[in-house]
Amino acid sequence: MEPLKRKPYEKHLQALQLELASAARWVQATGQRLVVLFEGRDAAGKGGAIDAIREHLNPRQCRVAALPKPHDRQRSEWYFQRYVAHLPAAGEIVLFDRSWYNRAGVERVMGFATDEQVHAFLQQAPLFEKQLVDDGVLLFKYWLCCDQAEQEQRFAERREDPLKQWKLSPVDEVARRHYADYTNAREEMLQATHMPYAPWTLVDFNDQRRGRLTLVQDLLRRLPDTRVPDAMPALPPLRRKPLRERFGVLKPIPAFGDGAAPPTR
């Protein structure tokens, strides 16, 4: 299948984003708590999928949780503790750019967690998620799939683009040699944590545009009927003539160079 072209992608995405805006109004109006987990290999496309969802949503309502590596105190806490602090309150949406499943993926493969810690996590994660769902949280878990050749191409693009080099880390460099190990870890994770109340959904992200549309469409399809009455009233007319703003205009800073002195404060 050929990669999806930009124009049809943007056309379909715009329609889906209108539905997302409606869904966000429904979440707020009904006091729902929506959590979406984005997991997958490095460079799979998690950031782009999250951006497609939140682009036109109120950032005060829709937040992204992308946690850094834990510090010393957090490493001594209950593993799920620092993630609980980022869960939504009523009317909020939280998109996890990687989540507590770090323990079953990168921490396991890269040796940042012991076998005992991974085993405990695989037993506790379904219980933790059952508590969330039983308390009314809408929980959706997505794994973004990416072939090794495609991953390598994206790594190369990031290395060559100065604006994307921040996306490459020393861990990514080492992880390239563990593609099969990540596959094995993922399969065991799915086996242990794919539950009827919190199932996994795997999405093909070799074509990132098509993958984003597929993921957003699936998310919207699985939400209840999100139509709510339009709460935005018409703007009343102003009682007086609109005021003209008064402001001063700054003069352009003169060019300097060729021996000229830089501008002073």
Nearest to 216 by CA among 50, 2, 47: 50
Q: Does 230 map to a domain? A: no
Q: Does 182 map to a domain? A: yes
Q: Does 231 map to a domain? A: no
Q: Does 240 map to a domain? A: no
Angle at which helix 208-222 crosses helix 46-54, to 10 degrees, equals 50
Q: Does 12 map to a domain? A: yes
- Which pLDDT band holds residue 255 (cuts at 50, 70, 90)? confident
pLDDT number for residue 260 = 60
Q: Does 105 map to a domain? A: yes
pTM, rounded to two decimals: 0.88
Structural domain of residue 50, as residue ranges? 6-222
Nearest to 46 by CA among 167, 194, 138, 200: 167
**In angstroms, rounded to a whole number, what is the distance separating the alpha carbons of residues 148 and 82?**
32
Per-residue pLDDT tens over the stretch 77-128: 999 999 999 999 999 999 999 999 999 999 999 999 999 999 999 999 999 9
End-to-end CA distance of the chain: 58
For 189, half-sphere exposure in the C-beta direction (CA atoms, 13 angstrom radius) is 27
Lowest mean pLDDT among 11-20, 45-54, 217-226: 217-226
User: Taking the alpha carbons of 119, 120, 121, 123 in that order, is the dihedral positive or negative?
Assistant: positive
Q: Does 145 map to a domain? A: yes
Distances (CA, A) of 38 to 91, 156, 190, 248: 20, 23, 14, 47
For 109, half-sphere exposure in the C-beta direction (CA atoms, 13 angstrom radius) is 25
Which SS3 state, helix, strand or coil, does residue 218 take? Answer: helix
User: What domain count does the chain have?
Assistant: 1
Answer with the residue of higher pLDDT: 143 or 238.
Answer: 143
Per-residue pLDDT tens over the stretch 152-178: 999 999 989 999 898 888 888 887 889
**In angstroms, rounded to a whole number, what is the distance separating the alpha carbons of residues 50 and 45?**
9
Q: Is-contact 148 43, C-beta < 8 A? A: no
Which SS3 state, helix, strand or coil, does residue 239 take? Answer: coil
Q: Does 68 map to a domain? A: yes
Mean pLDDT (the chain, rounded): 92
* CATH at 165: 3.40.50.300
Instruction: Determine if residue 241 is left, alpha or beta; phi over 0 gives left, psi from -120 to 50 gives alpha, anything else beta.
Output: beta
